[in-house]
Structure 1
Amino acid sequence: MFFEYFPYLKITFVIVNQVIIEAMEGEKIVHVVNLNADEPTQWRALLRDFSARPKGPPHLRITGVHQQKERIGV
């Protein structure tokens, strides 16, 4: 609910994803490590953005780490 009412996280996700896309331009393998994983919305957008690359998406691995395992569905 917080995520829907306060757009700050959404804006942050867009900026961070753009930085990742630019930094990984031309890479065929990308591994992202999220050290406070609990909001998958960012990663859905990153998948969409990577799939739109002219040369196709890279092999993408996203590793989520959180102190509370139940927050990431383990």
Structure 2
Amino acid sequence: MYIYKVIKENLQNCEFGSYVAYGIAVCLKSTNIILISISDVFLEKERAKKLVELCNKNNLELIHLKEVVEDAVG
């Protein structure tokens, strides 16, 4: 079973300079080891938290994460 978490990132971009973004990490629930993460998904922490809550509530399978993220930002 997986658990989804928000990750805060301090990033640099040559066009925009420094900024804070939020990504999503997927961990094994039993060990808390990160299996995969998607960086720089949202600029707003609340949007990231809502998506993570939805993924956890619905026990999202890892194979669907990319689709779900694309739908959330699209």
Query: Smaller-chain TM-score range?
Result: under 0.3
Higher relative contact order (CA 8 A, sep 6+): 1
More helix by share: 1
For the pair shown, which has the larger CA radius of gyration, 1 or 2?
A: 1
